[in-house]
Amino acid sequence: MSNTVLASASRILWRTIRSHGIDPDRLFRDAGLDPARINEPAARFPVESARKAWALAAAAIDTPCFGIRAGEQWLSTDLHALGYAFLSSTTLMTAINRVVRYNEIVDEVITFDAAIEGDYLVVSYRNARNDLPDIAPLEDARWSTLLSMCRLAKAREFCPTAVELMHGELSCGAAYKDFFGCVPEFNQPRSALYFDLATANETLPAVNRELAEINEHALVNYLEQLHQDDFARKVEKAIAELLPSGDISDDKIADALFMSTRTLQRRLSDEGLTYKQLLESVRHTLAEQYIRDERLSLNEISYLLGFSEQSSFSRAFKRWTGKSPSETRKE
């Protein structure tokens, strides 16, 4: 239905929230995320819900610059095989290039870039979704995580030469110098870390080419599977957009995707899926999100999910969850 993020990567936020004395499970559920899924290696969350969790954390945590310490909560298992491939790389240059190639596995809307500018290796990122702008803690957390990875691979005292941040300066500015080892430039047109090029090309102490290759192979396989799922997600998105109309069918979805119904059915069949399976999945996923929004009545939810009657929605919801919508809402 949307772009996604690796659920296990959200463990970084979960631990950060817990470190501030806040119940992370409750916050995740408020964002529409099932906290139990962060421990499923291949599970994925909708990017919108993941960003909402960061926004709720920013509202709940008193320290505005909590994101720069989020990376300290990172564990190598959080990023699928990317963490292990990074740590076993030959150089920081090689390790960072792996992030550039494979970050799509972690977050489908964030693309990292690495470029040589003079005597520096400059690492930056682009956000493909203008409707999901970064908040300051999330921007900080990306660099905090990457720098924590670099420090584990190279040396605890390792620091960038310069830091550029798109967000404005916060009240806890001194904490940035303490963490990065330099004073960042705020309100910049791009977000970037500058590393000394010679240092980035030095051999890392824990280099293990065989381990790096094994994990890179796992990353390639995961990425291929992710791309194979792209068509299914396009179909899910079209279903979600057409559901409120109440006039939805595989013919309508095929029209929305500019293809014949037969082509739609064949491509889904190639992935072991059917239109009815995806329709059921989309309705289930959206129902779980809508039921938490008390501003929506059960009649409105039924309409948004394309059911002609509330009783039809109630039967379907009980089939999905084992409970009625009203029982779930009371809980």
Q: Which domains are delineated in the chain?
A: 4-226 (3.90.1520), 229-330 (1.10.10.60)
Quick one: pLDDT at residue 2?
Answer: 64
**pLDDT reading at 129 higher than 80:** yes
- Please answer whether residues 40 and 7 qualify as being in contact, where contact means their C-beta atoms are separated by less than 8 angstroms: yes
Quick one: pLDDT at residue 229?
Answer: 66
**pLDDT reading at 1 higher than 70:** no
Which residues contact residue 246 at a Cβ distance below 8 angstroms, ignoring those fewer than 6 apart?
303, 306, 308
- Please answer whether residues 77 and 60 qualify as being in contact, where contact means their C-beta atoms are separated by less than 8 angstroms: no
Q: Token match 């979805």: residue? A: 253
Q: What is the rounded distance in angstroms from the CA atom of residue 178 to the CA atom of residue 175?
A: 5
Locate 14 and state its tokens.
Answer: 């979960």
- Percent of the chain residues past pLDDT 70, beyond the cut: 99
The CA-atom distances, in angstroms, between 317 and each of 54, 122, 312 are: 28, 50, 9
pTM for the model: 0.72
The CA-atom distances, in angstroms, between 319 and each of 36, 156, 211 are: 21, 52, 45
